[in-house]
A and B are shown apart, each in its own frame.
Chain A
Amino acid sequence: MSIENTKVGAEKRRVTDKRTNGGEIGWDDQSLQRMLADTERLTEETGYYRGIEDLALKEEDRFEYERLYSRLRGALVSARETALHVSASPIVREIGELCFQIYTPEGDSIAVSTGIIVHVHTGSLAIKWMIDQDYEHDRGIEPGDVFCNNDNDLGNVHTTDVHTIVPIFHDGELVAWADGVTHEADIGGASQGHTSIVHTSRFEDGIYATCEKIGEDDELYQDWKVRGERATRTPMYWDLDEKCRLAGCHMIREAVHEIIEDVGAETFKQFTREAVEEGRRTMESRVQERLFPGTYRSTSFAALPLEEEGWKPEQKQDTMHHLPVEMEIRADGTMSLDMEGTSSQGDHSFNAAEGSMTGGLWVSLTQCLLHDGKVNDGSHYALETHFPEGSLTNPDDPQLSFHAPWGTIMPAFQAVWENVSQGFFARGFREEVVTGYSETSNSVQGGGTLMESMAQIIPDEVGDYFPVSPFDLSCQGLGASAVRDGLDYGYAMWNPESDMGDIEEWELVQWGTQYLSRQIKTDSAGHGKYRGGSGWEGVMTVMGTDDCTLYKASQPDVTFSKAGMSGGYPGSTKYAVRAHDTDLADRAREGDPYPVGDTPPGTFEEHIDGDVTRTHRGNYFPKEYDNHDVMHFQMGGGPGWGDPLERPVPKVVGDVEDEVYSPDTVESVYGVVGEFDEKHRDFDLDEPATEAAREEIRERRREASETFEEFYERERERVADGDVADVVAGMYRDAFDMSEAFETEFHDFWDLDGSGF
């Protein structure tokens, strides 16, 4: 038994005695419900977190205050780094798909570790829900208890993010909560994978822990462990990650006890309050300093083409989602974010709970406004949000599927980033501009069973089932800023520490799959004076399996999510190509070429014979893959900034030589002409032809453009006649049903009297 276990026993006796005598577990003998109500009231009344007008501890001894913050955050980072090496699944260990947070008794985040910091506020929602449901008196909250939540409706980002939440007690009081979250490769469910586009309801998503008590006295309940063993396809990874989260939470608890021992409980309590208030002030001061006040508007679109792929009748339709974002930046440093006019929730897995959206908000703002590390729920109090109830961004039905809310979060926050970037640019901080990013797909998922001969060579405890869920998707092209190109193939909006992982690591986990290539996806980067970061593509095959199914989630594919900025273009869209019943084995035997990409599109088929399927739509539902079948996948490029004709010619030459752009593309988009020696990667620039081509493009712009009035009248007629694609008309009709204000605005703009769609 560890020292901590001994402490838990003593603490539990203390709390039991207290409760027996009618006492409460909150501070100063208050209930947690009372603490939460007081915090909300005081913050609302005063504008300061819990009414804290003076940061007394900080003012009195700044060094001690900063030391405490560093110590606490260091404990969180240390817990993360240590726990993932103690016990963790490959996604968690290799890619760092985990995060630890510490919360006040009423559930406000004090500090967060590195990693998937999208969760800075999700644990807060779960803790507040438990307080609201009176767990302290009903279910019970005691020293040594362990809770688990992955219910998005109660506080999570998507269903395969699983939280372990541990209360931290001192001297009979709950002084804080520790929360660890890991991203699971599989939680059961109707389809394999971590971000399924197949599901239509909660009942297909897999294991749901709804703020459930899963252990006491620091031990997990036997029945909970049995449930994990039997309800997921990858029980070993589930178990490893659960141990990881629990070990990390206990390390944090120990660190808090040591801090309290050093500085005293009262100082620790005061520090935690002031840290949240400081977070609020930091947010406001950053907004005041860096963003120009105003009302900023942008809209993203997300397509979900499932008419051909859908399995269930209700999902067999092509739909588009409308994701408008209006942000008010005020001179006092406060902000609001309003998504009035958002599409309705639906029978698919793109539903994003309010916690998912606030998670997306914090991971975004952390990267542009708050990147010095002090991120907590204070920021939350500096911002008002409106995610319309019943919409994709705030569903009112917990029975929906929440498996892949990223299909909503990622495009929606492209619009947020554009708004914030306009604010940066106007204020002179053009280095902070980010035009957007490639949404993190293709997401290749699936799994299979090994052939008997293969299964015999791997460790017994792994079993013969292998999951397929590589995190290649962590490395997308980042959008350009207003001073430089975007980062090539190295960005994921949900985890600033993006890492695609080594191929060898994925092949060790995904026993039945082998990579044939990873290479730059030419012509994927969004064009501009500063181009977006490039995307990349890969090819994999299946070997040594008895059965294997793979599928691919893709975004954007049949439509763009958003444009670039200041004349820049969006990165290219994604698509799908795969080959079944192939001659790959013969090619390997004969030493013949095999597909290593699809650049330019259509060349994949040149190096493989078989049943090739190619669709503009980038997603497909689980398909059976036999040995030597071949899958192509790709990651996207980021949007660009500025007019491509203003990109310096030497940079364009470099783009061709680096295979970011093809010679044909740079001629038609950038007006740069020359001969490219592919073998030596040498582009011989034809300067006179380049000058002429650039002038010709300018002339064509003049000829092919029209006045706004001409454009407006023509488009208005189409709108009035309903002469647009059915999916577009359907998207607007749905948005009108969701929001009378948006419908009025739309009809006012097009000067329609109820006609049109």
Chain B
Amino acid sequence: MASETDERQVAQLIDGEIGWSELRNDVLPDPKDGERFEVTRRLLEERVDFENPILLPLNDHLYAVGSDRGRIVKCDCGQEFCSLDENWKHHARVRVREAEADHREIYPEYQTSTPSPPATRSGRASSPTSTPSTRSGSGSRRRTHDRIQRYNRTNHTRIHL
């Protein structure tokens, strides 16, 4: 790739289609191409259905985009999460694997963290999915939302735009 940006290569990087030889000999070594950010951004915009300008990619499916409401976090499926100033994880669904059976779906026995720590206190839920939630009302969500609003420093990553 050297110092010139090869759009074909950038597209291959995004699509995971670049071969090891080309990656090793042409993409990984210095110097890097100077236009990578802009070219990547443009190619990503071509791949999504929405019109919002992509400001930068956050992961495989989430982007910081421009909108009428300012900078927001948006998924390539069109789901709008939140303002870029907030932690998008606070607007995502959560799945916690805590019971041993949940672990066994992903890792064999002994090859995962201790499913049931030896020293736990009583009353602990064995699995989040088996715990009836009594706090899913809108009032509760509002309180939670307020707490989270007060706590913006927990953003995993805060980018300077």
Interface residues of A (CB under 8 A from B): 289-290, 292-298, 318, 331, 371-372, 419, 422, 425-432, 482-484, 523-524, 527, 529-530, 556, 558-560, 565-567, 569, 572-575, 600-602, 614, 616, 641-643, 646, 662, 665, 668-669, 701-714, 718, 721-728, 745, 748-749, 751
Which of A318, A425, A714 is B133 in contact with, Cβ under 8 Å? Answer: A714
**Contact assessment for A707 and B150 in the assembled complex, using a CB-CB cutoff below 8 Å:** no
Residues of chain A lying within 8 A (CB to CB) of residue B77: none
Which of B16, B95, B141, B157 is A295 in contact with, Cβ under 8 Å? Answer: B157
Residues of chain B lying within 8 A (CB to CB) of residue A331: 160
Q: Given A616-B114, A708-B93, A748-B151, decide whether A668 and B106 contact each other with a Cβ distance below 8 A.
A: yes
Given contacts A289-B34, A428-B37, A748-B153, 6 further A-B contacts (CB under 8 A): A602-B109, A706-B128, A709-B136, A709-B144, A725-B120, A726-B117
Query: B89-113 vs A: 1/0 string, CB under 8 Å?
Result: 1111111100000000111111111
Which of A484, A574, A745 is B20 in contact with, Cβ under 8 Å? Answer: A484
Task: Give the residue name and chain of the A residue nearest to B96 (CB).
Answer: A711
Which of B29, B59, B133, B148 is A710 in contact with, Cβ under 8 Å? Answer: B133
Residues of chain B lying within 8 A (CB to CB) of residue A710: 94, 133, 135-136
**Contact assessment for A726 and B119 in the assembled complex, using a CB-CB cutoff below 8 Å:** yes
**Contact assessment for B60 and A429 in the assembled complex, using a CB-CB cutoff below 8 Å:** no
Residues facing A in B118-152 (CB within 8 A) are 118-121, 123-125, 128-129, 131, 133, 135-136, 140-141, 144-145, 147-148, 150-151
**Contact assessment for B108 and A292 in the assembled complex, using a CB-CB cutoff below 8 Å:** no
Residues of chain A lying within 8 A (CB to CB) of residue B111: 523-524, 572-575, 601
Min CB–CB distance B8 → chain A (angstroms): 14
**Contact assessment for B56 and A426 in the assembled complex, using a CB-CB cutoff below 8 Å:** yes
Residues of chain A lying within 8 A (CB to CB) of residue B154: 745, 749
Residues of chain B lying within 8 A (CB to CB) of residue A616: 110, 114
In angstroms, Cα B16 to Cα A641, docked, is 12
Which of B60, B108, B118, B123 is A723 in contact with, Cβ under 8 Å? Answer: B123
Task: Give the residue name and chain of the A residue nearest to B62 (CB).
Answer: A566
**Contact assessment for A297 and B157 in the assembled complex, using a CB-CB cutoff below 8 Å:** yes
**Contact assessment for B27 and A431 in the assembled complex, using a CB-CB cutoff below 8 Å:** yes
Interface residues of B (CB under 8 A from A): 10, 13-14, 16, 18, 20, 23, 27-30, 32, 34, 36-37, 39-41, 56-60, 89-96, 105-114, 117-121, 123-125, 128-129, 131, 133, 135-136, 140-141, 144-145, 147-148, 150-151, 153-160
Residues of chain A lying within 8 A (CB to CB) of residue B133: 706, 710, 713-714
In angstroms, Cα B27 to Cα A381, docked, is 29
In angstroms, Cα B152 to Cα A748, docked, is 10
In angstroms, Cα B56 to Cα A600, docked, is 43
In angstroms, Cα B29 to Cα A616, docked, is 42
Q: Given A569-B106, A602-B109, decide whether A294 and B159 contact each other with a Cβ distance below 8 A.
A: yes
Which of A643, A704, A751 is B147 in contact with, Cβ under 8 Å? Answer: A751
**Contact assessment for B124 and A723 in the assembled complex, using a CB-CB cutoff below 8 Å:** yes
Q: Given A642-B60, A749-B154, decide whether A523 and B121 contact each other with a Cβ distance below 8 A.
A: no
**Contact assessment for A530 and B106 in the assembled complex, using a CB-CB cutoff below 8 Å:** no
**Contact assessment for A713 and B36 in the assembled complex, using a CB-CB cutoff below 8 Å:** no
